[in-house]
Every structure is written in C-alpha cells, then in structure tokens.
Structure 1
C-alpha cells in the first residue's frame, strides 16, 4: 500500500474516497477537491492524537493558510489539483515537519488494499518488484501527469527502540540547556516583566482635579462620575515605577506533581541568563537524539540579574508549602530583592498566595496568560535537555519544533 502512489493516477487516499462513495452510491462530483480537505482534517486528527499538547494547534485559520499555500504552489506548477509533493511541502512550511509527515502518511493510504487477494508488489516509477525480489519494467497505459523525483527533507520522530537506547546511554552527571531556547525564553521573560511594570504603573496612578495642566491625560471615568459638579479630573502617573528582578511563569496550574517529576534549579552560564528553577515533564520519556531529551515546562521561576541560590526543591526551609506552584512562589519571595513579583498565569493569584507573599513583605503582580499568543506559549514550553555541552555541536541536527 505504501507504493500505490506510483501506479494510481491520483493520491491513494483520494482513490479510496472515490471507492467508498461508489460503494455507498454517494455523490462524488467534487471529491477531487473535498477529498484534499478531508485528507488534511484526517492528518490533523492523527497529529493531535500523536503529539497531544506538544504539537501546534492546527486551527481553522492555519488550515486556511495551508490550503491557500497549496493552491498557489499548484498554480505555479500549472496543475489544477495538488500532487503529494505540494501537499507535504506546504504542510512543512505552515505547520512543521511532524504535520507534513502525517499528511504524507495519510495521503498514501488505500483503505481497501487488504481486501485484494493478490501477492504484494512494490512499485516505483515505471518498475515493480515481485515478492521474490525480481525487478520488472512497468508501463502505465493511463499515465496522467508526468511523475518525477523531488526532495523534501523531513525529520521523523525516532523509533522507540532507538529512544530506549539513547536513554540507556544517558550520563546522569551531565546536563545543560540548548542556547537558542535560552535566548527565546529570556526574551519572553523580559516581555512579561515589561507587562508587569506597565500594570504596576497603572496601579500606582492617582487622580486629581484639573487646575493648570493636563498631567498624564484626562481621566474620563472620574470626570463622568463628577459630571454634576462640572469639574475635570486628570491622571497622574508616578515618575518611577520601580523594578522587577523576579518573574514566575505558571503554564499549567493547578499542576499535578505526577505529570512533572523533573524539578531542578539551573544556574546561569553568563550574565545575560537568569537563575532558573522549574518543574517539567520527564525528558527521558521523549528522547529526540543521542544525548538529547525534550521536556515541557509546567512552571518556572526566573531571577535576573542571576545570583547563586540553593536548589529550591531540596531546600528544607520551603517544606512548609504543599504544591509545586507554592514552592516557586515562596522561593521567589525569599530570593527576590524587590518588593514586587510578576506572576504569569491564567487565573489571578488567590488569597492564599497573596498571604504567602505578604509573609515576606512582597506583592504579586498578575500578568494574564491570555495576553500572549497561545502558539508562542506552546512553543516556549517545550525545551531540550542536553547530556553535556559537547552535545551542542550536533544538537541542531536533531532538534525540531513540532
């Protein structure tokens, strides 16, 4: 079934849809177009099933971009319908290698091949291989569009035996991060900090009656509230909004400790990195290359400028809290040198968390997770753990975002 593409005049999956429509006496007039849409939707469902939360969100908007890409590539090649290369290449450019692989695997499936009572042949371009290995020259009497070989490099997920071998060879005494991901998460930390500072400035703003200056702009709400007096009110923002040296990111809250067994405190390698404490999924369960594992953040604590701290997960002074999020919170309050701490999460911190912060004379500034692109958040949550700095020399060959 994997080589039927070479002898059928169209994609095996589309041929299967025609056969199914014929057997059910259904209308197949527009199946050459609707079949492409159904192929993409089937590939999307399999993509979601395989990668779950690690994959990109294949939204209707992204699919519309994909179909537009397919249409444009087909027109460039002077085709009325796309071929397999066009479908796979567009999927790779729009949604990454893993979605492109699902498109390719789905497109070459023919659902009725197991019903054929014949020995299996392997087909190529104008040739076939018999079950005994004999090669034969073949001629298609209904050739259709000409077929040619074209390259499309995809990086599939390593097979399970290979992943088990890489896990077995892992040296537990060496670990480091992947620098491009460090840069990306540090930029995001800076963005979260800037949002928190803006919110802090809004909280510290005050309103006063208009006299001789508009100050920082007209306060419409207060002016309308005092409309009966005929007075104008203006906003006054403080000149200094303070500083933030600590950011907490909670991507999955409340977090199940069984889902996030990998808990660590990483110290900065240079002055442009934060001191990082986090809880994440087990990287050993998702090996992507020799000495390269992939994990997903559940939550993280960033201290910048970096400073030496004890491992918060083994520090007995934080044992009075129960949850992973609370441990990050009390560690942030303990090591932060500023009165405010930024907390990125879906829901605002509750009364219990604010009491914990007040215990250390700190205040929490909530930054809603919805302010940022969910696609960006999803990609930033995935990071790779390398088995030593020497792995960085070839890690780019194996690391691919979903």
Structure 2
C-alpha cells in the first residue's frame, strides 16, 4: 500500500467505508496480495468470540448484540411518562459486504491472528459521516480515496470518541511488539486521528468497565434490508461469485442489472400477457434515467429509492413492487441454532417479541429512508374475503377505463376510414402544392427523372358504426370463460360485447375484480341488442371470434366493419361477411403500441356503482 497509510514499518492502515461491497473487495485483494501476520479491527475484545462464530456461519447472516441496559419494570408508569427504561444495545452485523467482516473472514481462513482493539464502553456513541461513493475505487486507489476526503473529515470532539481513538492507538503500540506485519482496518473518518494519536506516543491502555456478554442471533431474512450495507440481492451475488470464483469487481453496478433481469422474469411470470413488454430499449432508458437521478443526488451508484422510483415512472407500479421485493431477497437463509432476530429502522425485536433500540458498531454513511407510494398486491386472505362478499347480481365498469377504450375505438375507426380511401388516392406530379403529402413509392419509381410526386386522398366515403377488436386470436375458450354484452350507460359509450378471462379469479379490492379482454365488438352509436352469447341465431359458428364477427355483421348498419387483429381476416371470414353484404377493413394490431394495447386489455369489474367512489385506491396498472 501507499506509504501515507503506513503508521510504522510494521503497521499498515486500511481506511474503509463500512457497509461497502467495493471496499470489501479491496480489503480482500490487499490481504491476498500482501503478507500479514495480524489483522486488527475497531471492535471491542468482548465481541471477538461471538463475531468469529458468526463469521463461520457465513453466507448465512447473523448479528452480534451487546446490551447496554437491562429490562426494568416500572410499576408506577403512566401514559404521559413514556418509556424511560427502554432497552438499548450496540450490534455488529455479520455482513459479507462489511469490509471489517471480510478482513476477519479471510484472516480466519488464512490462519492470521486477529485482534479486536476498540475500547469497551457501557454506552456506545455511533459516529456517521457523509462520504463519497465507494464506486470511485474502480478508478482510484484506496490511498487516493482516503487522502482526497481528508479536508472534509472533522476532528473528533466527543470524549468517548477521543478515548476510543486513544485506546486503539495504545493497543496498536502493544501489538507492534508482537507482530512483524499488522493490517489495521478502520473507518475512513477515524484513520487520520488514530494515526495522529499513534505517532504522539502518549497513549496508555485504559481501564475498561464491565459490560454485558454479547449474544449471537440469526437474522430474519425478511428484515435483512435494515441490517446489510448493500441490498440483500447484491450481497447474495457477492457470495455467489465468491463460491464460483468469478470476478466481483463491478458487482455494485452489474448486480443492479442482474437484479433488473431477475425482476423482469418474475414480472412476466406473474402477469404473462397482461404485463408490459420490458424490452431492451426500455431497460436502456431506465438505466440512463437511474444514472441521472443518482448524479443529481451526488452518487455514482443508485440506492433502492432511486431504483424503485425510476421503475414506477417507466414500468408502472407492479414492476416497481416486484423490483423492491427482488432487492430484499437473500438466497442464503439456512437454519441456525439461534433465535431469529428482526430489525427495522433503528429498532430490533428479540425472538420473544421484546423490542430494543439498536446502535451499529460498524456505522456507514447515513441512510435516508424515504417512502414511495405504490399500490401493493392484496394478500391472499383479503382476496378470499372479497370473493366471498361479492354480489353476483350487480356489476359495472370503471369509468376511466371506459373513456380509454372508447378513445382507442375512435382511433381504430379513424384508421380504418383512412385506409378505406387509400385505393382511391390520386397521384400527380408536384407543381405548386404538396396536397396530402409526397408519394414515396411513385417518386422512387421515377427517381431517374428527378420529379416529385404527390398524392391527394378523396374524402372518406361511408361511415363505420362497428369495430371488432381481436387481441388474442385464435382464442382458447378455456382461457376466456366470461362472455357477456354490456349496454351503454350514456350516449358517449358503445354497446359492448366481449369475451374475457374470469374476473372472479383476480380480486384487487373490496368489490373490485380484474379481467383481460380476449376480443370485443363495439357498436356506436349505442343501441339495444340481445346478448350475442345467448342469441340462437349465431349458434352456427364454432369459435369465439366468429361469433363476434357474425354478430357484428348482423347488427352493423354500415357496409364496412373495422377489424383490429394481428393477422388479416382469412377468406372464410370474408365470405362470411359477404353473406351479410359487409366488407372487412383490417387494421393491423402492430400499428399500435404494444404497451398501450396490453394496458387497454386489462379492465376492472366493480360490484355496483357505489364501488366507484373508492375504486381508485385499489386499482393499479401493471
């Protein structure tokens, strides 16, 4: 290492940012590239056997607790007094991405002596400072990183902090007489003051108070996000690459990409065709947006809030929820012979349910917890309760979705009308007006002459009162058991006949269910018709699409019918329409955004009009 990090010929200091996977990788590289016979860490000696026992259980995460106060029952407590005797404890996270834990882990594997040299205290005072993003280690050395932040490191003022620095300096002097090469791993904010205290040679080992015995607990996998320095998913990737002997130098960024791909797989498996298409182009836009948000917050790598916020704004609530759940996953959660300890923000819960205030011995930069408003998926118990309370004699649509699908119907109708006049367009050589635009095909055909050709579309002849939308063709009747005709509630709505998935399967709120269109027929202006699925006049056809087509030909009062589908109608369908004196105008589904189409296909069924007053609080888009 650089001479600036040498306290003496026998002691080298390695300043780290606690909780950083990048610094954990740097610690491992230095320990493997240089020879040391002792590793010193800023932890009190009483925690050493428990910390090392927890390290033997890695990659399973444990936590070492050292209580500072014992539970005390105050019989004279009243509601206005508060809890004056709340239990408090300091803790050491046995986190594979903690640089101190990584140093101890490798030292144990290489049979290097370990020394815990911090001061034993009855009431630990944590220290935390804002520091540069550790991802900078990809371009600069540890020495350059440590010296660059020197002007921003404040001199310690608290008495306990000064006593701890003095104790560590004194113990380093003591270790220097026993070992030839010592690696001292400490916080980036402490190393210049420990160096200063060490060089002053005025430190003596202090008398330490009696402290409570530490305890070792297994961490509850559901609350690891409150303990680990990195996201649990990223931390598990560090362990996975360690086992497979792969490179983990860029996991702080590559891990985010892998987490994104894993989220996409789960999202597509859960929603199937109802979900948005997460294309490589959208992922590229997402990563650029995340980068910009991170730079705005003076970071080189994104935090969980940035990742989830960007996912919500680009992919929707459901993908953002899937991403947040994926980020909390840690794949190494074996059973251990210790009780499960749960954590939250600055608080912990013992296996017996008792609560305790937590203080981190390896405190990293301050963490800002921010909330993101997401419409979560309902628990299975709530879905079952809502299904039991459903009234089968009353249901209606949700107006915002009615407006969206009617606008889309109008757009499809206009597209079909414009196609109706394409065959009648008149092409002429450009003189003084572009008219309805350049005719590229004719212009290229006469490229050798250098002339431009323009086209003039005649006014649309005829009208359309029926639009047929076939989103899934050929449709499997087993996938779309719900078939019904809905009549318009007002003059701006169409008469709608459709086949869709069973809405009873997916309850999203009290009196709110969700289904997916397979195909639909729109009649506008609306008119009363018999339910086409119970009309015996259409029983001569076999498929769901043909029944919609025949009913459209029967009820339409115009000559043309617009058909939105992936493939053009075949000769059989055209002959069927010709029997009714109709012509089919095919509008390719590929002309529209697939994301928009997927969102329009999903619609909600409400158990009565009164549900509309609160439906927006439960309805979420994919």
The two structures have a TM-score, normalised by structure 2, of: 0.60
Aligned to 2:617: 397
Distance across 1 between alignment mates of 2:441 and 2:301: 58
Asked if the contact 1:197/1:244 (under 8 Å) is kept, the reply is yes
Where does the alignment leave 5 or more consecutive residues of structure 2 unmatched?
1-220
In 2: Cα distance, 1:168 partner to 1:220 partner: 61
For the residue of structure 1 that corresponds to 2:339, the secondary structure is coil
Q: Given that residues 346 and 359 in structure 2 are in contact (C-alpha distance below 8 angstroms), is that contact kept between their aligned partners in structure 1?
A: yes
Deviation of the 1:204 alpha carbon: 3.5
Matched, 1:344 2:564: yes
* Aligned-residue offset at 1:148: 3.2
Match of 2:250 in 1: 30
1:146-185 CA-partner distances (Å, limit 9, x unpaired): 1233211222211222212212221111111100001000
Matched, 1:378 2:598: yes
| Larger CA deviation: 44-53 vs 392-401 | 44-53
Rounded to whole Å, the distance in 1 between the matches of 2:453 and 2:298 is: 65
Partner Cα distance (2:607, 2:226) in 1: 43
Partner of 2:580: 360
Equivalent in 532, 552, 560 of residue 332 of structure 1? 552
Alpha-carbon contact 1:265-1:312 (below 8 Å) kept: yes
Check conservation: 2:318, 2:620, Cα contact below 8 A.
no
Shift of 1:222: 7.4
Structure 1 pair 108–335 and aligned structure 2 pair: CA distance change class (3 A): same
> Over residues 317-359 of structure 1, what are the superposed CA-to-partner deviations in whole Å (9 max), with x where a residue is unaligned?
1111111111111111111111111000011111111111110
Instruction: Indicate the SS of the match to 2:351.
Output: coil
Q: Structure 1's 338 and 111: CA in aligned 2 closer, same or farther, altered over 3 A?
A: same
| CA contact 2:276–2:595 (8 Å) conserved in 1 | yes
**Counterpart Cα distance in 1 of 2:439 and 2:292:** 51
Q: Is the 8 A contact 2:418 2:460 kept in 1?
A: no
Matching of residue 10 in structure 1 with residue 230 in structure 2:
yes
Choose 196-205 or 73-82, whichever is displaced more: 73-82
> Matched residues in 1 for 2:319 and 2:429: separation?
59
Structure 1: runs of 5+ lacking an equivalent: none
Deviation at 1:39, TM superposition (A): 1.1
For residues 176-255 of structure 1, the aligned pairs below 5 Å read: 176-205=396-425, 237-255=457-475
> What TM-score, normalized by structure 1, do the two folds share?
0.92
Change (3 A) 1:67 1:221: closer
Q: How many residues align?
A: 400
Q: Distance in 2 between matches of 1:226 and 1:334?
A: 46
Q: What is the aligned counterpart of 1:158 among 349, 357, 378?
A: 378
Q: 1:223 to 1:392 in 2, by over 3 A?
A: closer
Matches for 1:278-293 after TM superposition, within 5 Å: 278-293=498-513
RMSD (Å) for aligned C-alpha atoms = 2.7
161-170 vs 291-300, greater mean Cα deviation = 161-170
When residues 82 and 118 of structure 1 are mapped into structure 2, their CA distance, relative to the original with a 3 A threshold, is: farther
Which residue among 290, 294, 308 is the counterpart of 1:88?
308
| Structure 1, 367-376 or 12-21: larger mean CA deviation | 12-21
Sort the Cα spacing of 1:20 and 1:236 in 2 relative to 1 into closer, same or farther, 3 A: closer
Question: Which whole-Å CA distance do the structure 2 matches of 1:156 and 1:233 have between them?
Answer: 56
User: Residue 306 of structure 1: SS of its match in structure 2?
Assistant: coil
